[in-house]
Structure 1
Amino acid sequence: MTDNVVVLGAGYAGAGAVVELQSKLDSDAQLTWIADVDYHLLLHEVHRVVRDPNVQSDIVFPVDQIADPSTQFIQATVTGLDVDERVVELDDADDVEYDYVVVALGTQTAFYGIPGLEEHALTLKSLNDALEIHETVTEASKDATRSDPAQVVVGGAGLSGIQVAGEVAEFRDNHRAPIDVHLVEALDEIFPSGNEKARQYLRELLEEAGIQIHTGDPITEADAEQITFDEGKPLEYDVLVWTGGITGRDALADAELENEHNRVTTEANFQTSDERVFALGDAALIDQGDQPAPPTSQAAWQAAKVVGDNVVREMENRPLKTWEHNDKGTAISVGHDAVATGVDVLPVVDTFDGFPAKQLKKLTGAIWIANVTSWNEARKSWKSL
């Protein structure tokens, strides 16, 4: 009897799982890949599209560059997962039965119940989101003047928020556009998860780019014209982008799997409370002891290399491998500049900026592209990374 293994999602976790399963499944197993887009997006570089939409040609890879001819691809939106009937429920397509399923649907933006924020803010979770931010910033700049510049506010000063603010500043400089850029963070420091040296480097780059930084005062409300803070004066905006948090996909809300805020909880082997359901990437809370694995592209890449093997092991009734996240550091761009942190290059240096940080960020993206497509594709994308 042919087993049907289904992978949900085309992000790092989903694409990576497909690549691994294609190399490990027996020829008598059917691999089905389901995603709401027919391409894999290099999401950690999608902020580049905010500055220049032409970048998308270097960070978008059609599924046929990744999927083997024997892999069935279905473009559809997952609306539910029935683990009792072993069925993936789809919008505008027939439901798909599975014997084993890998959930890699990613996440959606969390708004934390802040009134008006979801209604008025743009987000950055997809290529279309990045294009919308670019178009909205472009239109706002056309209506602005030097004496009355467009106000672009980016909420959340983690990795995504910093990179979006940097790209808006690059757009402003490249087009000599009348734009003021604001970066807002509820906590006392930008890049709260980083170390002090990284925060210092990033703050310097942001300030050099003319980005106004607001920290230590959370947003309490947003309307069509301004955001309101807990203590400070309201800040008017023409464009509001929110990058402040993540939560699980609605498609998993009714799945009978252990979860927190629709992010499925798993053991360190990616197996969920249902032995035929595996989960990884941002869609999962993967047991790593005191804290789950971080919702980063790096963690998803690492996990994808193991999950394919574990699905096959479960099919063959063999013991599953345990995965341990290995944090190899982070590279963060601010326009054309970058900061790398947590990287063990030299015994006494793990945080640095400048040319080495930029090249490290490029290399990281290139290695992933080569992993899921080819080194030739990585070479063609190099200039945009």
Structure 2
Amino acid sequence: MTAKVVVLGAGYAGAGAIQQLEAELDSADITWVSDNDYHLVLHEAHRVIRDPRVKDKITLPVHDIKSPSTQFVEGTVTGVDTDERNVELDSGDEIEYDYLLVGLGSQTAYYGIPGLDENSLTLKSLDDALEIHESVKEAAGEATRNDPATVVVGGAGLSGIQSAGEIAEYRDKHRAPIDIYLVEALDEIMPGQDPELQGTVKKYLLEKDIEILTGDPITEATEDDIQFDEGDPLEYDVFLWTGGITGRAAMNDCGLDNEHNRVTTEANFQTSDDRVFAIGDCAIVDQGNDPAPPTAQAAWQAAEVAGENIARSIRGQPLATWTYDDKGTLISIGDAAVAHDIPLVPVDTFNSSAAEFLKKAAAARWIADVSSIGRALDAWESL
């Protein structure tokens, strides 16, 4: 009997796994389910904050990624029943599976901070990026030089830093009266990263007139201001929150071992149910004392092994073990970029045109891998 394999999510994990499954399984019945009929190059979504036209360069239609034999279903997953082996959609439809790969990504974590959910924007989708652009544009249009708009970005990880950089580029391009604040609860930006990288990125942020506030957690957000544990409240016109992730609500009561709706797996991506595998931001993969970060890079790597392991499981073969291979960090601050710990490069941290090229090349390579070289070349200037 032909195995029914269902893949949930069209992020890096889902898109990469679909192609691996198609390569591994000649006769399987593969169904791909996603909220949207395109794959978003999410680590470049911050570019849309500055220029909405970029959206056409970083959205790849699913039909350019999958083979004609793979069925695509556009719909939002509302639940997974591992006992009955089916996936529940918001339409009320159910999709049966023999093997399931969960790559649903994550949603924003608010850590129980009052008002944070209701009063902040997020950057988890293309619509989010477009909303941030419109909000910044509207706030700038109502501001004056004597009374500038205040844009606050909460969370100084990769997403927060890159978003602040794009807002600064928008401000400078349009000569818009905007004050930008980057807020981090911990003492340093990019918490846990190499101090050399932190220092280089901070230098660029300050050069772009982005004020950095660290070491003072947000305790509440109202419609008008952000309140801190120690400092004075900060009034804002636009508030973007990028401070953390948690699992999708669809994984509530799924019967799988999980932490905050992020499914826990072995290093082979197999969950507590041997017919269900999970990858990407929705999963916590056992990597011992050095867990893989919730990044595009990790999801790209995981997708290949996860797809292979589902094929191995169907064939009754031993599963392969995945170990995350850190290829370094690439981060953009507007048009500038910083590279750190890149293999075969003798300098730990650099911020020249070479870093900008590598940042573009990483995104272009992914687009070429899952779509075509032509699409990658067309997107190059926007990356």
Once residues 47 and 329 of structure 1 are traced to their aligned partners in structure 2, the CA distance between those partners, rounded to angstroms, is 20
Where 1:318 maps in the other structure, the secondary structure is: coil
Once residues 272 and 3 of structure 2 are traced to their aligned partners in structure 1, the CA distance between those partners, rounded to angstroms, is 20
Task: Report the identity percentage.
Answer: 63
Where 1:346 maps in the other structure, the secondary structure is: coil
For residue 309 of structure 2, what is the amino acid of its counterpart? N
Instruction: Give the aligned partner of residue 209 of structure 1.
Output: 208
Instruction: Give the aligned partner of residue 269 of structure 1.
Output: 268
Shift of 1:274: 0.3
Which ranges in structure 2 are unaligned for 5 or more consecutive residues?
Answer: none
Once residues 374 and 278 of structure 1 are traced to their aligned partners in structure 2, the CA distance between those partners, rounded to angstroms, is 28
Where 2:302 maps in the other structure, the secondary structure is: helix
**CA displacement 1:266-308 (0-9 Å, x = unmatched):** 0000000000000000110000011432111000000011111
Shift of 1:344: 2.6
For residue 328 of structure 2, what is the amino acid of its counterpart? G
Contact 1:41 1:59 in 2 (8 A): yes
Once residues 122 and 312 of structure 1 are traced to their aligned partners in structure 2, the CA distance between those partners, rounded to angstroms, is 40
**CA displacement 1:45-75 (0-9 Å, x = unmatched):** 0000000000011100010100111110000
Instruction: Give the aligned partner of residue 241 of structure 2.
Output: 242
Instruction: Give the aligned partner of residue 59 of structure 1.
Output: 58
Q: How does 1:35-46 map to 2 (within 5 A)?
A: 35-46=34-45
Contact 1:9 1:106 in 2 (8 A): yes
Instruction: Give the aligned partner of residue 140 of structure 1.
Output: 139
Q: Say what the alpha-carbon RMSD is for the aligned residues.
A: 0.8
Shift of 1:93: 4.8
Instruction: Give the aligned partner of residue 384 of structure 1.
Output: 382
Once residues 42 and 57 of structure 1 are traced to their aligned partners in structure 2, the CA distance between those partners, rounded to angstroms, is 11
**CA displacement 1:326-348 (0-9 Å, x = unmatched):** 0011101000001111213333x
Instruction: Give the aligned partner of residue 21 of structure 2.
Output: 21
- TM-score of the pair, normalised by structure 2: 0.99
Instruction: Give the aligned partner of residue 2 of structure 2.
Output: 2
Where 2:132 maps in the other structure, the secondary structure is: helix
Q: How does 1:73-222 map to 2 (within 5 A)?
A: 73-222=72-221
Instruction: Give the aligned partner of residue 12 of structure 1.
Output: 12
For residue 204 of structure 2, what is the amino acid of its counterpart? L
Residue 366 (structure 1) aligned with residue 364 (structure 2): yes
Residue 281 (structure 1) aligned with residue 280 (structure 2): yes
Where 1:204 maps in the other structure, the secondary structure is: helix
**CA displacement 1:228-270 (0-9 Å, x = unmatched):** 0100111000000000000000000110000000000000000
Contact 1:76 1:93 in 2 (8 A): no
Where 1:199 maps in the other structure, the secondary structure is: helix
Once residues 345 and 118 of structure 2 are traced to their aligned partners in structure 1, the CA distance between those partners, rounded to angstroms, is 47
For residue 364 of structure 1, what is the amino acid of its counterpart? A
Once residues 268 and 274 of structure 1 are traced to their aligned partners in structure 2, the CA distance between those partners, rounded to angstroms, is 14
Runs of 4+ with deviation above 3 angstroms: none
Instruction: Give the aligned partner of residue 373 of structure 2.
Output: 375
For residue 90 of structure 1, what is the amino acid of its counterpart? L
Q: How does 1:305-320 map to 2 (within 5 A)?
A: 305-320=304-319
Contact 1:344 1:350 in 2 (8 A): no
Once residues 291 and 237 of structure 1 are traced to their aligned partners in structure 2, the CA distance between those partners, rounded to angstroms, is 38
- TM-score of the pair, normalised by structure 1: 0.98
Query: How many residues are treated as equivalent by the alignment?
Result: 383
Once residues 270 and 277 of structure 1 are traced to their aligned partners in structure 2, the CA distance between those partners, rounded to angstroms, is 9
**CA displacement 1:192-229 (0-9 Å, x = unmatched):** 13211111111111111110110110000010000001
